Every structure is written in C-alpha cells, then in structure tokens.
Structure 1
Amino acid sequence: MTTSTAPVGALLREWRERRRLSQLELSNRTAVSTRHLSWIETGRSRPTAQMILRLADDLEVPLRERNAMLLAAGFAPAYPQHGLDDPELADVRDALRAVLAAHLPHPALLLDRHWDLVEANAAATALLDGCAPHLLVAPVNVLRVSLHPDGLAPRIANLPQWRAHLLGQVRRRAERTGDPALGALLDELTGYGGGTAEEPGPGAVVVPLRLRTADGELALFSLAAHVTTAADVTVEELVVETFHPADAATAAALRRLGTG
C-alpha cells in the first residue's frame, strides 16, 4: 500500500494538476462547486469518503492511490489488495494463465506496475538464454533485462529504436501515476545508453523488437492488455504483454522453437 504524510486535500490537488485540470474544469466534470473543491484542497473542508472516491474516479486515480487518499483522510481503504495466489483471485489468475498458455508458441508475459515479471510462458523464457544470472534473480524486471548490457541489449538489432519505445512507455506511466519508483527506473534505464532512435522505415506500421537468436533474427511486435473491471489493487496493476511475429520468417522460427 502506498502511504503518504500529505493531507488528502494536497493529494487531490496533486492529481488534479497531474491531469492538467483547473478547479473550474474539475467542477464542471463532477458537479462539485469550485468553492468546495478549493476548501477541500486547502484543508478548510474535510471531504467524505464518497466525495474522495467521486473525485478520484473522475481524475482516473489508480486504486492503490485512492486507498492512500482515504487513509490520509482517516478512512479505511476501499479496495482490497490480494496476492495473486490468494483464493479470492483464483478466477482471474486462471484466466491470465490461460492467456499465457494459449499464446504459445509466441512469447507472453504477465507483468506488474513496475514491469517486474510475475509469470511467463515457455516461449518467453526461452528468449532469455544468454542473459547474465544476476538479471534473472527475482524480482526480474523485464525492462532491465531488455536494456542492460548484460541482458538482451547486445542481441537487439534495432536497440536505439526499441530502447526509445521502452523509455517512452516508462516515462508516460510515471507521469500518469506519479510513482517515484518508475522515475528511478527511468533514470536507471536511461543510464545504460544504447544510441539515438531512428524513425521507423517507410511503410512501417509497428515498432518491432528485432532479436538475434541462434535460429536467426526474430521480428516481434507487442500487445498489452489489462483487466478493465478491476476492483482489487493487484488485479488493476497486472498487465499481459503478448508478442506476435512481425513477419512470416519469425512465425516459422517460433513454431520450430515451440516444437523443439
């Protein structure tokens, strides 16, 4: 659970400013008067739990941070946070694992909010051959594995382009969530270097990961999915990232790797 010593009004103002909304704009969206919003933000008025959740929902505040707001105001958290192996998450867990298994022979990952690996299918783990053991000690961060000089980076044929894509993802999530751990991760990944990105080639429709393997160069593009109806902190923060062949040669190579 994220904790904060800031009062709830300051937290709400921080999220409003992060979403680049004025008090008037938020007032129009939520039907809460600007005067009342101002009093909440300055601490002159103590919001109810319902008001906090109403504003947080419109500001698209993550469930983890909504709980932190409630705690800052003296209320109990509204959203549970179970472990993935807890009985309460059995149906979600089974569904996510079924997605990973069904995606074979193509790689698929289950990640948390910091891109730490939760689970992966066999096709994904097979691509990690040659990475330094210290990068594969849990919790395994897939971005660190991708861009570290002892990881996949030497085998990524279009490293500058793929690096720019990954750094952009981290930067946008850090800005959207305000998570300081993501800011630290971005600084770390940037420090690895890797060149300046080039524009995608003429006619390109995706930015591929071009990975050199013993079976030849694989060209992969990724899709990300999450549980859109999550009411649990853990479930909301899980992301399934699936990789798909960007050309026929890669599709054939992945089929060969799968049968092997």
Structure 2
Amino acid sequence: MTTAAPAPAPATGVGPLLRGWRERRRLSQLELALRADSSARHISFVETGRSRPSEEMILKLADHLDVPMRDRNGLLLAAGYAPRYAETTLDDPSMSALREGIARLLEGYEPYPALVVDAAYNVVAANRGIMALLDGVPEHLLTAPLNAMRLALHPEGLASRLLNYREWRAHLLHQMERQIALARYEPLRAVYDEVAAYPAPEGADAFDRTVEPEPYAHFALPMVVEHGGQVLSFVSSIATFNTPMDVTVAELAIETLLPADPATAKYLRTLAS
C-alpha cells in the first residue's frame, strides 16, 4: 500500500512553527534571512523564542516560505496576533460574485468536463461534462460530500473504466503526496490514506495492456477512459486564483479536462447535442 510521509510532530509557539516550515522548504537560516531582508541572528532568535516577531515579519517570512494561507493564520495566532485572513463559506452572500463567476466558467467550458475542488478534493461545483463522465457510477459514490479522488480511484468509480489505471493512479497519488509535503492539511492526508488503500479494479492489469499507442505524441499524461463503448482521452489542467485574500478561495482549484485527440472532442460534442 502506498503511504505518504508521516506528519511531523506538532510544534508549539510561532518560533518552532517557523523553524518547521523553514526546514520543510530546506532553507538555512541565512538563506531565509537574505530573502526576507533580515539577519540569520534575528531568524535564530525568532525560532528559539528569544525574539517575538512582529505581525509584518511573520507574514513576510511566511511569504518567503510559501506557507499556505490557512497556516499563516495559525502562525499569527501562535504569536498572539489575530488571524489576517477570513475563511468564508461559499454559500455566504459575500461570495455571490465568486459563485456566479465559477458557474459561468464551468458552463462556458462545456461540453468538455470541468470541476472545482477544495483543498481535500471535495467537489464544490461541476459542469454537465463531468456528470456525463460519471454516468453509471454507483449512487453511494455520488452522495455528498463528492470527492474527486474517491470518484477517480474507487474500484466501483471511474477506476473500473480507466484504461491506463495504474499510470493514472500513480499520477494522482504523487500529486497528493506533493501537496501533503507542502502543506500540513489533515483532511487531505485522510483522503490520501483512504484512496491509496483501495484495491485495483478487476482486470486493471489487462487495462493498461489494451491501450493502443496513439499515432501522435501526447504533450501530457492522458487519462484514458471508456465511456459508452468509446475510448476517450483527456489531459488535465488545474488553475487557482491569483492573490486570494480568503482561506476558502485560496484553497479552491479549477480542473479542466481537455480532449487529447479529435475523436474525444467529437464524441463529447455529439453527446452534448
């Protein structure tokens, strides 16, 4: 069974937390100091608790350490400051412009599949292209909260129709491993542990051997899936919001599935019509 790296022991106080992020990014105190226009001595004092950093200094260090927005709030709280970033639910009235923008984007991408997920790959929005791909997936996998990784890798989900199952599974698990290494987010680790333990769907070894080489070179690893007797090939693109000021928005990702061959594009247009 594939396993992600174990979570580090929790640190207390802003100093040890910052040291943990610095070590995770594999930076020396001097390297961080140079990036943050500080000194290695001051960074050392902050990490050992001999100096209490200002709110601005914490945010500057967090920026250079690429600390996720959720954890930046945690650093501020550990230092005795108020959180800087709100965490607003998507159904809040203040998020109406965001919801409408996402809906227009997903609709505009049809008939090609597109969806929006949060930091644990829970689906918060999807278009009709995605729902068409999920046709035939058992109802128990389609109940809330819908999770993209569960749908992709569960032996009763898309995994049973993925013709390059082992390749695509390895790609998705590696993607989650990288995210777990960059951010300490336990809900994502729980999803990883669950889907990594799924057994392969029946016939998975045969799937990979039956995919015929395409007459052209792929520019990215495709997801090859059977749908209604047709072999479809997609490449995935993921986009996030620039300069978010809210934890919820910072953790959203828009994934679009681009047809990797003309036959897939034609089939999706026919299916939509």
Q: Provide the TM-score with structure 1 as the length reference.
A: 0.92
Amino acid at match of 1:93: R
Partner of 2:254: 240
Equivalent AA in structure 2 for residue 150 of structure 1: E
CA-based RMSD = 2.0
User: Which of 135, 139, 143 pairs up with 1:133?
Assistant: 139
Find out whether 1:171 has 2:157 as its counterpart. no
Alignment partner of 1:184 is 2:198: no
Q: Is the 8 A contact 2:11 2:17 kept in 1?
A: no
Gaps of at least 5 residues in structure 2 are 1-9
Aligned to 2:41: 35
**Of the candidates 78, 83, 93, which is equivalent to residue 77 of structure 1?**
83
Residue from 144, 155, 160 that aligns with 1:149: 155
Contact 1:107 1:242 in 2 (8 A): yes
Counterpart Cα distance in 2 of 1:39 and 1:237:
32
Aligned length: 255
Aligned residue identity for 1:137: T
Q: Distance in 1 between the 2:11 and 2:173 partners?
A: 30
Q: Could you say which residue in structure 1 is the equivalent of 2:237? A: 223
Residues 117 and 139 in structure 1, CA contact (< 8 A), matched pair in contact too? yes
Contact 2:112/2:129 (<8 A) preserved: yes
* Aligned mates of 1:128, 1:168 — CA distance in 2: 23
Instruction: Identify which of 54, 58, 61 aligns with 2:67.
Output: 61
Structure 2 CA distance for aligned equivalents of residues 29 and 102 of structure 1: 41
The answer to whether the Cα contact below 8 Å between 1:215 and 1:253 also exists between their aligned partners in 2 is no
Secondary structure (helix, strand or coil) at the match of 2:250 reads: helix
d(CA) in 1 for partners of 2:63, 2:271: 45
Q: Structure 2 CA distance, aligned partners of 1:161 and 1:141?
A: 20
Return the offset for 1:23: 0.5
Q: Which consecutive residues of structure 1, in runs of 5 or more, have no partner in the other structure?
A: none
Return the offset for 1:5.
Answer: 6.8
Q: Who is 1:110 aligned against?
A: 116
Aligned identity (percent) is: 46
Equivalent of 2:221 in 207, 213, 218: 207
